């Protein structure tokens, strides 16, 4: 079957690897001059920055793409464990490092929080493992055709109920730990799903599993090395990758409905296809590539995740003692900061920030004696009450003061700030790189589907469809879209 994949982001590349490996005639059409999409690369004054995700988990999902393409992944990509995975810094001056491996992390908790907390960590890990073992094959790596599929088969769904997976995440984590630092450390991951810990269901503890049990890794060469490797794998499997090929319209037989005929590029070239897999943010794809075809209700009226301001900084000077690859600096406020962000649509009054220092493990990302910093503050998306034209210089100065107060290098040589208006300009709905939030009614079969029944042969991949947000989920989404194409070809 002839398949056009729109976009060489991680979802599109995952789909291309699976499709080309299965024998389909695959063409990947990417508007930019190289692969990566959101997982791009920025070079400024001798510094190199990864512009997208900085945390990589679940490396077996990458291996699955390489295996589907029939290539030796080890020859294309080298992954190294990040240890410690995070340095968590708290307002009282204490620090806790998230260690690679259950035994090492147990000892870290024992030394910082006491033996009782260490014992509870073991029980918490057991719970996370059971949760992951249930969720991953039956509810995440799966295409849904109906909400009834959640209960088919019934036993895994009942097991999730018995595990307490439909309680609130903050409540489950709080039931394991008395120490407020551990409660924050093992529940902040709900933000990846666009939710506060007190509102997220415990099923999203699976993200905590990916972060703190399965482990965090870094590709040799930086995060952008991942899409480069996947693009190479897809090509080795027979896919054609065309860069500088911007798609203007997905062509349907009846104009705004009917089977897929292919795509039209800017300039008028038509690329015929039996199936199209679209990697752009799903609501944006409907609006810009499928005018006249009404998007799903969840995409039109859904609740979108908060956004983030990302400040890329190249600076001279020494790092603070104890700096790790990933450093989370928790604010003193917690629930009130989430309420400001999620309910009031304003900046957190006491934000927690992530400071990643990729040059610590990949010296080629900065000149000698200098460091590349990636600074992230969660902020409201464009549905919020922030005027970003006015707020942009203010948040830049706030982040600069915060970094200086924490001891990071402040002799800034290059910088690039990305706010929600910039995310929107990059094609991300409501100015958020995190798509629809993962409220229950926007998850699984309730999330916008990865196939369009009004346009047979049209499929979607990426964070706006199933299973959702994050590098692991997006890689899975490519596999699920490929399965949809395979099923169509088999009919």
pLDDT tens, residue by residue, 449-463 = 999 999 999 999 999
- The pLDDT value recorded for residue 156 is 93
- The pLDDT value recorded for residue 242 is 98
DSSP 3-state of 130: helix
pTM of the model: 0.97
pLDDT tens, residue by residue, 368-413 = 999 999 999 999 999 999 999 999 999 999 999 999 999 999 999 9
pLDDT tens, residue by residue, 76-123 = 999 999 999 999 999 999 999 999 999 999 999 999 999 999 999 999
Tokens (6 digits) for 380: 């409201």
DSSP string, 403-433: HHHHT---EEEEEEEE-HHHHHHTT-GGG-T
The CA-atom distances, in angstroms, between 401 and each of 95, 235, 301 are 21, 46, 38
- The pLDDT value recorded for residue 367 is 97
pLDDT tens, residue by residue, 183-230 = 999 999 999 999 999 999 999 999 999 988 889 999 999 999 999 999
Instruction: Give the bridge partners for 50, in sequence order.
Output: 41
CA 8 to centroid of chain Cα atoms: 15
């Amino acid at each position: 079957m002839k398949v056009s994949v729109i976009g060489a982001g991680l979802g599109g590349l995952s789909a291309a690897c699976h499709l080309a490996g299965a024998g389909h005639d695959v063409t990947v059409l990417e508007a930019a001059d190289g692969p990566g999409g959101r997982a791009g690369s920025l070079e400024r004054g001798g510094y190199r920055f990864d512009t997208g995700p900085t945390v990589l988990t679940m490396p077996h999902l990458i291996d699955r793409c390489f295996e589907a393409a029939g290539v030796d992944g080890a020859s294309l990509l080298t992954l190294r464990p990040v240890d410690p995975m995070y340095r968590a810094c708290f307002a009282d001056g204490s620090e806790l490092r998230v260690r690679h491996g259950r035994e090492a992390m147990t000892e870290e908790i024992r030394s910082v929080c006491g033996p009782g907390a260490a014992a509870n960590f073991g029980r918490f890990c057991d719970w996370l493992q059971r949760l992951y073992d249930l969720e991953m094959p039956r509810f995440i790596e799966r295409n849904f055709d109906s909400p009834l599929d959640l209960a088919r088969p019934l036993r895994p769904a009942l097991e999730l109920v018995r595990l307490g997976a439909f309680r609130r995440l903050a409540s489950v984590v709080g039931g394991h730990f008395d120490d407020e630092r551990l409660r924050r450390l093992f529940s902040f991951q709900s933000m990846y799903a666009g939710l506060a810990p007190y509102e997220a269901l415990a099923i999203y503890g699976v993200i905590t599993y990916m972060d703190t049990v399965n482990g965090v890794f870094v590709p040799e060469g930086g995060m952008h090395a991942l899409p480069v490797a996947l693009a190479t794998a897809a090509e080795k499997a027979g896919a054609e990758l065309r860069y500088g090929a911007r798609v203007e319209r997905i062509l349907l037989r009846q104009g705004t409905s009917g089977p897929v005929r292919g795509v039209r590029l800017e300039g008028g070239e038509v690329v015929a296809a039996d199936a199209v897999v679209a990697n752009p943010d799903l609501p944006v794809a409907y609006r810009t590539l499928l005018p006249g075809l009404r998007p799903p209700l969840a995409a039109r009226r859904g609740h979108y995740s908060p956004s983030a301001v990302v400040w890329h900084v190249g600076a001279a000077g020494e790092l603070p003692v104890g700096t790790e690859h990933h450093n989370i600096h928790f604010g003193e406020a917690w629930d009130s900061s989430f309420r400001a962000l999620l309910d009031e649509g304003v900046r957190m009054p006491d934000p927690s920030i992530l400071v990643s220092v990729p040059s610590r493990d990949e010296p080629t990302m900065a000149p000698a004696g200098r460091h590349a910093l990636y600074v992230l503050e969660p902020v409201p998306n464009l549905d919020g009450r922030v005027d970003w034209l006015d707020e942009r210089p203010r948040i830049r100065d706030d982040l600069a003061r915060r970094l200086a107060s924490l001891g990071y290098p402040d002799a800034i040589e290059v910088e690039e700030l990305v706010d929600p208006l910039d995310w929107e300009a990059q094609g991300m709905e409501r100015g958020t790189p995190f798509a629809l939030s993962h409220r229950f009614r926007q998850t699984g079969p309730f999330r916008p589907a990865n196939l369009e029944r009004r346009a047979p042969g049209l499929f979607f991949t990426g964070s706006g469809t199933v299973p959702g947000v994050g590098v692991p989920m997006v890689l899975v989404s490519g596999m699920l879209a490929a399965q949809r194409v395979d099923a169509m070809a088999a009919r």
